[in-house]
């Protein structure tokens, strides 16, 4: 496809859902699988708890450690006799919500910082990006755990902490993108017109850098869900009785021999959700990458 055709297609009036990008995304089989899985997971977590005959907090000490498919306990019960299926869905609400919220926060922060660093460049840009480098020198999980141990953990705090330790990659991507766009004609023109810095940054540069941001944001959801699972598994994330996919695994290791489903079920849910988001991210990258257009 030639440059002029690209321009035409960008200006054409066809609805967005029939655009080249969307069609290319729809052809990506893994991404479609991921999208379907996420829709199913979200629907199950939103509606599912109303359909199950058990409450996620209902304790039944006589029915402890029931293996999967005992009566209506599709995934069995946990050490307190609570239904694992019910807990899994309620946990999904928390885990997915934390993942999404952390993604939103870190994407906004990373994008603003990245645009500022890339647009202003010079000393400001250097200082900001060195700060990003320094943050990236800490293994994510060490920083996360240290902060979670110092601060009283609540779902909101966990979200904030996860966001605070996962905005750096987006900032890097946006900074590189903006730095390459900064000298392009449309930016130079905007500057000559006397438009304000914030107008150039958020109305001119941001829309042109949106592709990589969307891809990075999708992958950040996957990572945020994983990080929540890690801290909660280690006991410093979401605190019981509130269930999350991570903290359901928290006590699972000691019962691994007698009740392996305690470990298998939530871990499979995490893997499914994270894989799906990674697939979607991969599909978006392929669909939004203009270079694959030119081939």
Partner 1 sequence: MLRYLLGRFWQSLILLLLVSMIGFAVLNLAPGGPLSQFSLTPGMTQADLDRIASQMGLDRPLPVQYIDWLGHLLRGDWGRSFRDGRAVLDIIWEHLLATMLLMGVSTAIAIFVGTLIGVLGALKRYSIFDYAATVGAMVALSIPTFWFGLIAIYIFSLRLRWLPAGNMYTIGDGSLGDYAVHLIMPSIVLALVNIAVWSRYMRTATLDVINQDFVRTARAKGLRPRRVLVRHILGNALLPMITLLGLQLPTILGGALVTETVFTWPGMGRLFLDSLGYSDYPVVMGLLMMSAVLVLVGNLAADLTVAFVDPRIRLS
Residue numbers at the binding site for partner 1 (CB under 8 A): 30, 130-131, 133-143, 145-147, 149-152, 222, 226, 229-230, 233-234, 236, 249, 252-253, 256-257, 260, 263-264, 267, 270-271, 274-275, 278-279, 282
For residues 129 and 174, the answer to whether their CB atoms sit within 8 Å is no
Whichever of 91 and 147 has its CB closer to partner 1, that residue is 147
Residue 141: CB minimum distance to partner 1, A: 4
CB-based contacts of 45, cutoff 8 Å, min separation 6: 89, 90, 92, 93, 96
Whichever of 139 and 241 has its CB closer to partner 1, that residue is 139
Whichever of 45 and 269 has its CB closer to partner 1, that residue is 269
Tokens of 19: 């655009």
CB-based contacts of 244, cutoff 8 Å, min separation 6: 91, 94, 95, 98, 228, 229, 232, 237, 238
Provide φ and ψ at 13, rounded to 5°: -100, 10
CA geometry: angle 42, 47, 48, nearest 5 deg: 90
Residue 256: CB minimum distance to partner 1, A: 5
For residues 172 and 132, the answer to whether their CB atoms sit within 8 Å is yes
What stretches of 93-212 adopt beta strand conformation (E)?
Answer: none
> What 3-state class would DSSP assign to 226?
helix
Whichever of 117 and 226 has its CB closer to partner 1, that residue is 226
Residue 271: CB minimum distance to partner 1, A: 5
Residue 111: CB minimum distance to partner 1, A: 21
Residue 266: CB minimum distance to partner 1, A: 8
Whichever of 112 and 143 has its CB closer to partner 1, that residue is 143
Whichever of 212 and 266 has its CB closer to partner 1, that residue is 266
Residue 28: CB minimum distance to partner 1, A: 12
Residue 94: CB minimum distance to partner 1, A: 16
For residues 228 and 249, the answer to whether their CB atoms sit within 8 Å is no
Tokens of 120: 């202003």
Whichever of 30 and 80 has its CB closer to partner 1, that residue is 30
Closest of 62, 95, 72 to residue 243, by C-alpha: 95
């Amino acid at each position: 496809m030639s440059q002029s055709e690209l321009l035409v297609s960008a200006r054409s009036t066809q609805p967005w859902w029939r655009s080249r990008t969307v069609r290319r995304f729809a052809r990506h089989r893994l991404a479609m699988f991921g999208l379907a899985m996420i829709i199913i997971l979200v629907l199950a977590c939103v509606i599912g708890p109303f359909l199950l005959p058990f409450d996620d907090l209902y304790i039944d000490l006589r029915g402890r450690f029931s293996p999967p498919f005992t009566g209506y306990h599709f995934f069995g019960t946990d050490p307190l006799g609570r239904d694992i299926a019910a807990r899994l869905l309620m946990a999904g609400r928390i885990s997915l919500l934390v993942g999404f919220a952390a993604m939103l926060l870190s994407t906004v922060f990373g994008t603003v910082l990245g645009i500022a660093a890339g647009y202003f460049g010079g000393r400001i840009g250097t200082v900001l990006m060195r700060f990003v480098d320094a943050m990236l020198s800490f293994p994510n999980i060490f920083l996360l755990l240290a902060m979670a141990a110092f601060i009283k953990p609540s779902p909101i705090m966990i979200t904030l902490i996860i966001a605070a330790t996962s905005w750096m990659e987006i900032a890097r991507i946006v900074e590189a993108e903006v730095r390459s766009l900064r000298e392009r004609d449309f930016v130079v023109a905007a500057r000559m017109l006397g438009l304000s810095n914030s107008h150039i940054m958020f109305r001119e540069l941001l829309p042109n850098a949106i592709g990589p941001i969307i891809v990075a944001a999708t992958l950040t959801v996957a990572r945020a869900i994983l990080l929540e699972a890690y801290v909660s598994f280690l006991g410093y994330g979401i605190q019981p009785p509130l269930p999350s996919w991570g903290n359901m695994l928290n006590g699972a290791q000691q019962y691994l021999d007698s009740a392996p489903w305690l470990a298998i079920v939530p871990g499979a849910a995490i893997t499914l959700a994270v894989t799906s988001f990674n697939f979607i991210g991969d599909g978006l990258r392929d669909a939004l990458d203009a270079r694959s257009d030119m081939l």
